[in-house]
């Protein structure tokens, strides 16, 4: 009887530290996991927003008449990385998700500035094209019409002079 | 010579020259506005033709198709292709009601396509699965699509009693980011492949 009591005391002595160690481990590690998940989630949200902003910049450049195929290649690369980041996140691989989302963000570094340069260049080219094709063309038409009229009047005068001289 | 006889000729020559001079400006003004705004979405077989689509597939063997988008929305399109897989009992996308499948997406492919441009993606996929002849079912393990792998352990395909095959449906739904609302919405288009998972 006494031996049994001693055994159970002995067990208790082991159980308490093991239990405490387990609790400490859970308390200690859970923020690490939670932090990895939060970091990955945050990186994905930032990458998503960046892709959205870059899309808007590409759209503005396209509206100005710029050739945006190179911009779209970059956007497609970043979009694919973001898709893979989401997949890794859903699979619980937060480290890969974070890395892929960060790569997606890096892919888009300088994108908006590049899109704005294309947009400005396209706006300038559009202005020049407008001046040449529309203003130049309307001016040319006016010159042809007025020139034709002046030529007709001059020819008429000359014809009348020659006609009256003949009389 | 009476100059007045040449009046009509002179007018015609002047008018032709004026039209020629005005043509660059007219070409900009006389353009019919685009009235149909739509997107083409297609899948082609391995030879880049609408034929020889994979049907009878073997375990861990690679098969290829091509997915394509033609953008005629009038602006650069922001598309998502949701990759989904289902057996014969699970809900499909509906062509009549124009609704997507309620199944969760396995993977999203993002595609940005300029206006009046075409985007194409070669897809290579393989399935890993185990056939259980006594239970007459196929248990999926994973799908690999363009080097991206998904765990498919919860997917089971039972034998189709009519044709004695194990049919799975790999389908791709087209979604897009609506520029006016800023919300992503189903674009009422999908393409799909019926696959018989052989032994």
**Does residue A37 sit within a domain?**
no
Reported as a pLDDT band with limits 50, 70 and 90, residue A3 is low
- A137, A153, A163: which to substitute to probe chain B, counting the most B Cβ within 10 Å? A137
- The count of domains in chain A is 1
Structure tokens at B172: 């791709």
pLDDT for A167 equals 42
Domain extents for chain B? Answer: 1-31, 38-197
Which one, of B187, B186, B197, lies nearest residue B87 by Cα? B197
Give the pLDDT band of residue B187 (cuts 50, 70, 90): very high
The pLDDT > 70 percentage for chain B reads: 99
pLDDT tens, position by position, B92-145: 888 888 899 999 888 889 999 999 999 999 999 999 999 887 878 889 899 998
Of residues B152 and B172, more confidently modeled: B172
* Within-domain flag for A59: yes
Taking the domain B38-197, which CATH number applies?
2.60.40.10
Structure tokens at B98: 């124009």
Check A76 against B148: CB less than 8 A apart.
no
DSSP letters of B120-165?
EEEEEEEEEEEEETTTTEEEEEEEEETTEEEE-TT-EEE-BTTTTB
Cα distance between residue B53 and residue B59, in whole Å: 17
Residue B154, pLDDT score: 77
Are the CB atoms for B45 and B53 separated by under 8 Å? yes
Domain carrying residue A64: 43-166
Residue B21 reports pLDDT greater than 70: yes
Q: Which of residues 95-124 of B touch A (CB under 8 A)?
A: 107-115, 117, 119
A56-79: average pLDDT: 91
Residue B14 has pLDDT above 70, yes or no: yes
Which residue numbers of A have CB closer than 8 Å to B's CBs? 51, 55, 58-59, 62-63, 68-69, 72, 75-76, 79-80, 82-84, 86-87, 91, 132-134, 136-138, 140-141, 143-145, 148-149, 152, 155-156, 159
Residue A50's pLDDT is 93
Local confidence band at B175 (pLDDT 50, 70, 90 cut-offs): very high
- Give SS3 for B167: strand
Q: What is the pLDDT of residues B70-87, one digit of tens each?
A: 999 988 999 999 999 998
Q: Rounded to an integer, what distance in angstroms lies between the CA atom of residue B168 and that of residue B85?
A: 7
Q: Which chain A residues are within 8 Å of B148, Cβ to Cβ?
A: 84, 87
Residue A107 CB neighbours (<10 A)? 21
Burial label for A28, CB within 10 Å (0-12, 13-18, 19+), is: exposed
**Which of A41-50, B10-19, B24-33, B138-147 has the weakest average pLDDT?**
B24-33
Kind of pairing between the strands at B184-197 and B56-57: parallel
Measured CA to CA, the distance from residue B183 to residue B192 in angstroms comes to 25
Query: What's the whole-number average pLDDT of chain A?
Result: 83
The pLDDT assigned to A155 comes to 87
Choose among B44, B66, B37, B33: nearest CA to B187.
B37
- The highest-confidence range among A19-23, B23-27, B28-32, by mean pLDDT, is B23-27
Tell me if B122 sits within 8 A of B52, measured CB to CB. no
CB–CB contact B18 A148 (8 Å):
yes
Instruction: Say what the pLDDT of residue B2 is.
Output: 73
pLDDT of residue A12: 61
Q: Are B147 and A80 in contact (CB under 8 A)?
A: no
Q: How far apart are CA A84 and CA A63, in angstroms?
A: 30
pLDDT in tens, A9-39: 656 666 767 777 776 666 555 555 568 888 8
Instruction: Write the ipTM.
Output: 0.80
pLDDT at B4 over 80: no
**Quick check: is A111 in a domain?**
yes
């Amino acid at each position: 009887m006494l031996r049994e009591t001693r055994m159970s005391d002995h067990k208790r002595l082991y159980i308490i530290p093991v239990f405490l160690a387990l609790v400490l481990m859970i308390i200690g590690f859970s923020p690490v996991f939670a932090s990895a998940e939060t970091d990955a989630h945050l990186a994905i949200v930032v990458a998503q927003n960046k892709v959205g902003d870059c899309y808007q910049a590409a759209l503005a450049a396209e509206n100005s008449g710029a050739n945006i195929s190179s911009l779209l290649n970059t956007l497609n690369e970043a979009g694919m990385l973001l898709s893979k980041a989401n997949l890794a996140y859903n699979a619980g691989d937060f480290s890969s998700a974070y890395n892929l989302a960060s790569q997606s963000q890096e892919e888009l570094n300088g994108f908006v500035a590049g899109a704005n340069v294309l947009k400005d260049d396209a706006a300038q080219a559009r202005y020049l094209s407008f001046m040449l094709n529309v203003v130049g063309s309307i001016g040319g038409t006016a010159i042809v019409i007025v020139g034709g009229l002046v030529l007709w009047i001059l020819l008429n005068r000359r014809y009348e002079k020659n006609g009256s001289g003949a009389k | 010579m009476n100059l007045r006889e040449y009046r009509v000729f002179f007018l015609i020559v002047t008018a032709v020259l004026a039209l020629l001079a005005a043509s660059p400006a007219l070409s900009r003004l006389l353009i019919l506005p685009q009235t149909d705004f739509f997107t083409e979405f297609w899948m082609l077989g391995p030879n880049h033709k609408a034929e020889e689509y994979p049907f009878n597939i073997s375990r861990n063997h690679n098969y290829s198709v091509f997915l394509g988008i033609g953008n005629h929305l009038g602006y650069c399109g922001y598309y998502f292709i949701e990759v989904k897989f289902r057996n014969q009992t699970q809900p499909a996308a509906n062509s009549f009601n124009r609704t997507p499948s309620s199944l969760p997406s396995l993977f999203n492919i993002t595609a940005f396509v300029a206006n009046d441009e075409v985007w194409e993606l070669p897809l290579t996929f393989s399935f890993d699965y185990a056939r259980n002849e006594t239970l007459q079912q196929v248990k999926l393990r994973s799908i690999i699509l363009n080097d991206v792998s998904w765990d498919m352990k919860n997917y089971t395909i039972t034998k189709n009693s009519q044709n004695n095959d194990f049919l799975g449906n790999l389908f791709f739904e087209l979604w897009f980011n609506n520029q006016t609302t800023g919300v992503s919405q189903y674009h009422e288009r999908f393409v799909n492949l019926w696959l018989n998972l052989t032994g």
